[in-house]
Structures are given as C-alpha cells and as structure tokens.
Amino acid sequence: MQDLALILLVNGKEDFTKRWLKYMSKIEFKHKIVIGNGNKKSNLLIKELINKKIYSNLNIEYHSYNNKNYKDYYFMMYDVVKKQKETRYIKFCDNDDFILPNQLENLLDLVKKDRKLVSVGDRDLWFSLIGSNLYNKYIYFFPDNFYRSVENFNTQNIKSVFTNFQESFYNIFTKKYILQILKEIHQINFSDLEIRDFYLKLRIMMFGKTKFYNQVSYVRQHGVSQTSSNFLYTRSFIHKDISGDIEKLKKNIFKKIKKSSSNKDMIINEIENGYVSYLNIVILHNLRQFNHKKLFIFKKFLQDKFKIIYITIRKVQYLKINLLLKKNYFKNYLSFRKELQLVKKFLKD
C-alpha cells in the first residue's frame, strides 16, 4: 500500500509541465506522480518528456485522455484516482505550482496519526513573476488568508466556506472519499467549474472532519490561469447554466443529508444564500479593472517600465501578513524558509 499519489492533470501549457518536472526532479520527490493528459496534440510530447533520463529519479505513471472516453476535467480526475488501487491518500497539483516536500511530509504525518480525518490541508502561498510566466528574478510572495482550522458539515461552516473561501482542492484526501465525490460530480454534470468545486468542498465535509494547519506546503503561481487573467466572470451567466447548477447542487446535497437531521431545509437555504454572497464578492472583485481603470493602467505601466519599484510596493503591501506567517507558523519556520529559498532560486535561474 502506497502512502500518497500526487496527481497532475494537464491540458496544454507544456512549458509549465517541463518546468514542473524539472523542479520535482531537483527536489527528488519520493512519492508516486500520476499524470493525466487531456490534450491530444501534446500526447507524444509529454510521453517523450517523462521518459527523459533527467527525470528517471521520479516515479511517474502516465495516462492519456485524448479519445472519446475523455468527457471533462473531472472525469479525468475520477478515472485517474480510480486507477490508484494501492494508494491510501490522494493529492492534486497544477503544473504552474510548486510542492515544498518537507512541509508536505508534515501534513502526511498528521493525517496518518488521525485516521478519523477525511482530509488535511494548510495555507497556500502565492507568488507572482513580473515580466515572465516561467522564470524571472522579479518575484514576490503573499499567503492566502487562514480562516478555519477545522471544517465540519454544519450551518456555520457552510456559511463560511462561501463568504470566507479557504482552498481545499490541494488538500491531502483519503482516497475512498474523494473517489466517491469525483464520481458524483461527473454523474451530476454541472456546467460550471466553480460550482463543482463547491460541491466537492461540501461533500468532503459531509464525510467527516477536515483539519487545516498554519503552515505552507503548496506554492501557487498567480496570474497564469484563465480565471486570473482576461476573464470576465459575468460571461458565466451567458455561457453556463448557473441557476440549473445551483439547483443540482442543492438537490444532490439534500439527498445525501442524513434522514435524522432536523435542519435539512436550513442547510439548503444556507447553501443558496452562501452562493449568492460568493457571487457578490467575486463579481465585485472581477470588475475592479473596469471600475478603477486608471489605477490598473498605472499598475501595468509600473510592471513594464519600473519593475523594481513595482516589486518593492508589492513586498511592502504584503509585509504584515508575511511577518504574521513567520510569527504563527505551525512547525519549523527555518525548514520552510529553506525550501522556499530553493523555489526562489529555481525561478530566478
């Protein structure tokens, strides 16, 4: 029985996959890596890439989803997890992000010690490169907010997951629970990706307790995904069936709530109200570039012409939360700092 399978799903962005593999080889990642590829055009390229001698120190399993059986991103997730028959825990990863291996081992030890946990996570740390997507000496870091140390399926937590969103997609999951949830998401066939993410978060809470720890094992790149650049959120209401998705979410969550529960209707109302609150927050955030157009033009000017000044402003902006991260860090801060310095050096070279 293997402890952990790290699952990387790709559909394009081959340069990021190359960078990711180079980094994972550099840190000599010891756990199994499973790559699922949904891009037919890059199938041969990815196969050739993972067979290179420089990556021979990695334990890589590869699956191609370029045929008629490939339905969507979540089908690929479900099918890849289903194939991990000898693995106890599952973690997902993106090819534009980085794992801190010692911090990951901390999390894995914690979930092994408490078998009642269905999921365990920590804080994400974001970074942004100024002037290049892949490598650049101009870089700054900023951690996600840390709202909850425990998530259970109750009205208080349900309200909070929508208004104080805390990422759990990159948690370590007990395989049997995440497999069941991914199967349900694929069968329900939501049109919107973010509603699928909320369904996953609610369902994992229904299976049992999730714990979050004030440490960082996952470093995410900001500004390189579709939803973080040139993406107008309100287009979702035209191209997707948001109201239909919410009805599907409520209906399927309602069916899964224990019959003995006396507050089923209250829970469903909290989900609907919570999602409305989430929409108000995310749409307002997404429209900043239109409501404060001059500010964003000036920001772009600084990024392009005065990178050092822009980086200095950003570092000052996030100084307080980075200092608080150091002060309140869960485990050995020096170990974390050493691993983060390695990521910095890797990105600057």
Q: What is the CATH number of the domain that holds 69?
A: 3.90.550.10
Looking at residue 229, what is its pLDDT?
A: 47
Looking at residue 227, what is its pLDDT?
A: 45
**Is the distance from CB of 213 to CB of 110 less than 8 angstroms?**
yes
Per-residue pLDDT, averaged over 311-321, amounts to 93
CB atoms inside a 10 Å sphere around CB 110: 18
Per-residue pLDDT, averaged over 186-200, amounts to 92
Task: Name the band, by pLDDT with cuts 50, 70 and 90, for residue 331.
Answer: confident
| Same structural domain, 142 and 220 | yes
Provide DSSP, 295-341: HHHHHHHHHHH-HHHHHHHHHHHTHHHHHHHHHH-SS-HHHHHHHHH
> Which of 95, 111, 130 is where one domain is finished?
95
| Same structural domain, 88 and 129 | no
pLDDT over 70 (residue 339): yes
| Same structural domain, 257 and 348 | yes
| Same structural domain, 52 and 139 | no
- For 149-162, the pLDDT digits (tens) are 999 998 889 989 99
Task: Name the band, by pLDDT with cuts 50, 70 and 90, for residue 288.
Answer: confident
Helices (H), 27-100: 43-50, 73-82
Looking at residue 238, what is its pLDDT?
A: 84
Please indicate, yes or no, if residue 100 is contained in any of the structural domains: no
- For 204-251, the pLDDT digits (tens) are 999 999 999 999 999 999 988 644 445 677 788 888 899 999 999 999
* E strand intervals along the chain: 2-10, 32-37, 60-64, 87-93, 98-99, 117-129, 139-143, 150-151, 172-174, 209-221
**Is the distance from CB of 216 to CB of 285 less than 8 angstroms?**
no
- Percentage of the chain modeled with pLDDT above 90: 69
Helices (H), 189-226: 193-207
The average confidence (pLDDT) of the chain is: 90
Please indicate, yes or no, if residue 112 is contained in any of the structural domains: no
| Same structural domain, 61 and 165 | no
pLDDT over 90 (residue 11): no
| Same structural domain, 91 and 128 | no
Per-residue pLDDT, averaged over 89-111, amounts to 96
Looking at residue 74, what is its pLDDT?
A: 85
Please indicate, yes or no, if residue 115 is contained in any of the structural domains: no
Q: Is the pLDDT higher at 209 or at 259?
A: 209
Task: Name the band, by pLDDT with cuts 50, 70 and 90, for residue 71.
Answer: low
Distance CA 25, CA 16 (A): 14
| Same structural domain, 128 and 56 | no
> Which of 95, 111, 132 is where one domain is finished?
95
> Which of 59, 78, 95 is where one domain is finished?
95
Distance CA 106, CA 112 (A): 10
Looking at residue 131, what is its pLDDT?
A: 87
Please indicate, yes or no, if residue 313 is contained in any of the structural domains: no
Looking at residue 70, what is its pLDDT?
A: 54
| Same structural domain, 78 and 126 | no
Looking at residue 67, what is its pLDDT?
A: 57
- Phi, psi values for residue 34, rounded to 5°: -115, 120
| Same structural domain, 160 and 209 | yes
Please indicate, yes or no, if residue 111 is contained in any of the structural domains: no
Please indicate, yes or no, if residue 51 is contained in any of the structural domains: yes
Looking at residue 178, what is its pLDDT?
A: 97
Looking at residue 231, what is its pLDDT?
A: 61
| Same structural domain, 90 and 215 | no
Please indicate, yes or no, if residue 91 is contained in any of the structural domains: yes
CB-neighbour burial class of residue 231 (10 A; exposed 0-12, middle 13-18, buried 19+)? exposed
Per-residue pLDDT, averaged over 320-338, amounts to 90
Looking at residue 62, what is its pLDDT?
A: 95
Please indicate, yes or no, if residue 86 is contained in any of the structural domains: yes
Task: Report the SS3 class of residue 21.
Answer: helix
Range of the domain at 278: 121-286+318-349
pLDDT over 70 (residue 34): yes
User: Domains in the chain: how many in total?
Assistant: 2
| Same structural domain, 140 and 60 | no
pLDDT over 60 (residue 17): yes
Q: Lowest-pLDDT range, 111-115, 184-188, 261-265? A: 261-265
| Same structural domain, 274 and 134 | yes
